[in-house]
Structure 1
């Protein structure tokens, strides 16, 4: 197998939980090969650099092998290599940790707090 649809490959190597979610993200323009946004039907081949936008950053992967069969996470590392710079990953980690933690005993967030949290998560 030399080429496979990008939505199948993203699902097979466990970047997305479902193939329909992978296709949806392609349709929204959140997936690109090189610098070109692609549709779900675009074929991917070995050596392609796939970029997936996960707000607030864009994750980058290199296609090491192609497959259309879903596999375990242990086997998936043979098919994909993440090349996202560490600085971007630190931004992503900091964003989630900043808003997800609450002091114990502080109770539920108020409506105003909830709206603020939702607004910050959209960034």
Structure 2
């Protein structure tokens, strides 16, 4: 089975064209090598998928005939993603919220001046 079709069948991607695009961009790898969407998948392989700034890792258990229901996905793949990957996204979320709340808008003149002053201070130390 093709890798793009497999990822669509086990519901990693919503559509097959999104799965194809991810393969072309190099966001899908098997054993550390980039793939074409037409690469054949076999049981026992470890697939790495980068999606939403998380590196998901799946082990292929079996190949489905067609797209499967959400409850049946675990029969065809085993999620071996390390917990550290999910913790990184939590840290990213806090880093973004630290400076500016969502929806507040562009930086003000005061913000820009503060940034410029900070950059000038760090350049003087060099």
Aligned equivalent of 1:65, options 62, 65, 68: 62
Matches within 5 A, 1:43-62: 43-54=40-51, 56-62=53-59
Q: Which segments of structure 1 move beyond 3 Å, counting only runs of 4 or more?
A: 96-100
Distance (Å, rounded) in 1 between the aligned partners of 2:58 and 2:45: 8
Going from structure 1 to structure 2, the CA distance change for 1:66 and 1:95 (only over 3 Å counts) comes to same
Rg larger for? 2
Displacement, 1:68?
4.5
More strand by share: 1
Q: What's the TM-score once normalised by structure 1's chain length?
A: 0.75
In 2, Cα distance between equivalents of 1:53 and 1:13: 15
Q: Normalization by structure 2: what TM-score?
A: 0.73
Q: Which residue, out of 7, 10, 23, partners 2:7?
A: 10
